[in-house]
Amino acid sequence: MDTSAWSAQQLAEYLAVVSAFDNERDAMFGAVELAAEAFEAEIGAIVSGETVLVDVGFPSGRTPERQIVEAVVSGAALDVPGPGI
């Protein structure tokens, strides 16, 4: 299978999974989980303006929101010590 067909198939599967959630928050969380898994990332987040809407991979209640927003705005890498749980 060529790469463009594979990409279209993966995108269709991704959209099908995300659209099956009951509400917007769960869909965003599911989207971040799937994207992080696809990129083999330990963390993921959706950022809107200066707010982290949802994230995965950070310990509960310990999301470094300011650092995430700064990294997104500047295009810099984000060094995240001890992600998980």
Look at the pTM and tell me if it is higher than 0.85.
no
Tell me the mean pLDDT in the region 51-72. Answer: 90
If you write DSSP's letter for every residue of 10-65 in order, what string do you get? HHHHHHHHHHTSSSHHHHHHHHHHHHHHHTT-S-EEEEETTEEEEEESSPTT---H
Q: pLDDT tens for residues 14-37?
A: 888 888 999 999 999 999 998 888
- Amino acid identity of residue 38, one-letter, is A
